[in-house]
A and B are shown apart, each in its own frame.
Chain A
């Protein structure tokens, strides 16, 4: 398994995540897609770290996980608040902040 395969997998996962963020309406799914993108990046980091024989990429992957965890905490709280107010998790319903 060459690093190329890992990078290709990371790209596929990232694109799936990105498309999911753009086309899905359910906030929960969008969250999961964002996590997917973050993990795709993590995978790329770890693959390159392995290739270069350095630990920098692996350390950064940990940082990304911490950031992702923090983001999930805040994001889910917002999601809960919106759901309680509107009985819906669709992001298109929460479109008041506009022109």
Chain B
């Protein structure tokens, strides 16, 4: 009893705005987390072809070393009392001009360590998978260089102790995402997709940079401690503006509406990239940003409401797209969008939801990476075929892939006791508990989303692993080598138990408590909403079985009814972008070019033509005959004399 009271008192004292303690002991070397992958990237990218032979070994070893250090730092953190776990180290002063002071520092706290372990842990597994997946690619060394650079940028993003350094990491992951989506840049689709992702991200980055400028203007500081310490004194207008700008940044990075269109095209990149960047880590950076900026969002109910709306809309949007996509990677990408929608929804609920958002984020990191690696190994064995209508019957030939993919499938659709069940149902509950109309709307949206998730994932399962073999004639799939199956097995183990581990006993909620503030309500194991979600999911599985399991799947996609066509076309997201942004933009440029050609150039050219034409005519005067020159001299002399006489008289 006394123990509980002390714990509650300690948590009440530990407001998120508290100033972190300086790091001590082993945590003082937190910069190692950045140095390992950065050194890997430097060796691989600067070393050139010399490193081709052993490049992948370095590429795998560096994230693994970072993971080992991450575990050590995590254990060290667990040794501290709950309210002393937030630690900072200052590395150096980056900018110091008058009042503007930007130190480069790292913050190791409960939130960032979760991400460090996810990025380096799941990241290392995906790196190992990529050794096998990319084994036939002559550019494998460059691939690992980019991947290490990504890990370094992502770690900088989550470890930064101020928004400006966070922004450096933010741009770093944007750059590496661009490089890796376009890794096979000789494919026009890949090059276009990379450009599209970059442009869509720039729109979000604009919000991010404006938010940082606004922070400096309003608080004179961009550090977390500085901003969160003063945000309470700022007006409602400033906090809401900050919240909306940060949300814009989060939407760009996390592929949320209205900046969602790039994620599906990003699947042109190699599959390990899709697993690491576009499923497990980078796309969740938006959720991290919102949870990290909790003190700002806590003060602005309007911004939070918009976050929940974006989350709810995207979770349905992505799920509906997934239902109609025949490309296995795109179906999974739509699912990523939808799951991040859940996280955004939870994050938008404020202090009640932050821990649940992170719980789903971590669980999602495992099962979605597992799904993508499964899709990758299928693609690897099916001669780069990704059309699920060409799969079928893979259960027998790829048993390990089937089992691991199946476990991750059960996790994502929320079947107990797999991780998705715990992580997602807490969010559905929290959405209903918001109360009022918004509670009902958010709750129903997340419930329906859960049903659709079960439908499209079951569709993927049936089309890929069940039914008759619809393979291309030259496809001879076998189980992939152990270097690829072992990461999938480890991720599947994570997908089995991790959700229960974090949610039961409030482990993660208590752990994150000092960072996320107010304690979330105790989630029940089987609540009404959770049970309804489960029933919906089972109904959706039966529906999907009736549509894709019982009946044979046609090799060419049937024409489909209007809603299928709409979902195949990504609910016209690209059409909207094209008609609202691209075409008016093109008209604007055409108009400018026309004005430049006809207006500016026209004026300049007319002047030049006039001068040229006139001089062309005048030069005929130079006949070359001496007497004509003499005549003009005489005439001139006569004129002069005449003028003189005229003046004299």
Binding site for B on A (CB under 8 A): 18, 21-23, 25, 30, 91-92, 94-99
Which residues of chain A have C-beta atoms less than 8 A from B630's C-beta? 21-22
Cβ-neighbour of A95 out of B619, B621, B623, B631 (below 8 A): B623
Distance to closest chain B CB from A41 (angstroms)? 13
Q: Are A97 and B627 in contact (CB under 8 A)?
A: no
Give the secondary structure class of B's interface. Answer: helix
A98: nearest residue on chain B (CB-CB)?
Answer: B624
Is B624 within 8 A of A22, CB to CB? no
Q: Which residues of B contact A98 (CB under 8 A)?
A: 622-624
Tell me, rounded to whole Å, the shortest Cβ–Cβ distance linking B493 to chain A: 92
- In chain A, what residue has the closest Cβ to B637? A18
A54 to B142, CA, bound (A): 102
Interface residues of B in 592-631 (CB under 8 A from A): 619-627, 630-631
**B634 on the interface (CB 8 Å rule)?**
yes
A39 to chain B, nearest CB (A): 18
* Additional pairs, 12, CB under 8 Å, beyond known A22-B627, A91-B625, A99-B624: A18-B634, A21-B627, A22-B630, A22-B634, A95-B624, A95-B625, A95-B626, A96-B624, A99-B619, A99-B620, A99-B621, A99-B622
B631 and A22 within 8 A (CB)? yes
* Cβ A91 vs Cβ B627 within 8 A: yes
A92 surroundings in chain B (CB, below 8 A): 625, 627
Residues of B within 8 A of A91 (CB): 625-627
Q: Which residue of A lies closest to B620 (CB)?
A: A99
A21 to B625, CA, bound (A): 12
B interface size (C-beta, 8 A): 12
Residues on A with beta carbons closer than 8 Å to the beta carbon of B634: 18, 22
* 1/0 contact string of B362-390 vs chain A (CB within 8 Å): 00000000000000000000000000000
Chain B residue numbers with a CB within 8 Å of A96 are: 624
List 6 A-B pairs, minimum CB-CB distance, nearest first.
Answer: A98-B624, A95-B624, A99-B619, A99-B622, A91-B626, A98-B622
Kindly list chain A residues whose C-beta atoms are within 8 Å of the C-beta of B621.
99
Q: Which residue of B lies closest to A19 (CB)?
A: B634
Chain A residues with CB under 8 A of B620: 99
A-B contact pairs, 20 of them (CB 8 A): A18-B634, A21-B627, A22-B630, A22-B631, A22-B634, A23-B627, A25-B627, A92-B625, A94-B626, A95-B623, A95-B624, A95-B626, A97-B624, A98-B624, A99-B619, A99-B620, A99-B621, A99-B622, A99-B623, A99-B624
B255 to chain A minimum Cβ distance, whole angstroms, is: 70
CA distance A21 to B627 in the complex (A): 7
Considering only CB atoms, which chain B residue lies closest to A25 in the complex?
B627
Give the residues in chain A near B626, CB-CB below 8 Å.
Answer: 30, 91, 94-95
Cα of A92 to Cα of B629 in the assembled complex, Å: 12
Please give, as numbers and ranges, the residues of chain B lying within 8 Å of A25 by CB-CB distance. Answer: 627
**B41 to nearest A CB, angstroms?**
68
A97 to B623, CA, bound (A): 8
Expressed in whole angstroms, the Cα–Cα distance for A91 and B634 within the complex equals: 18
| Complex-state Cα separation, A99 to B624, whole angstroms | 8
CA distance A30 to B620 in the complex (A): 25
A62 CB, nearest partner CB in chain B, Å: 24
**Which residues on B sit within 8 Å (CB–CB) of A97?**
624
A22 to B620, CA, bound (A): 19
Scoring B residues 216 to 227 as 1 if CB is less than 8 Å from chain A, else 0, what string do you get? 000000000000
**In the bound complex, CA of A97 to CA of B625 (Å):** 9
Greatest chain A CB density within 10 A among B622, B623, B627 is at: B627
CA distance A94 to B623 in the complex (A): 11
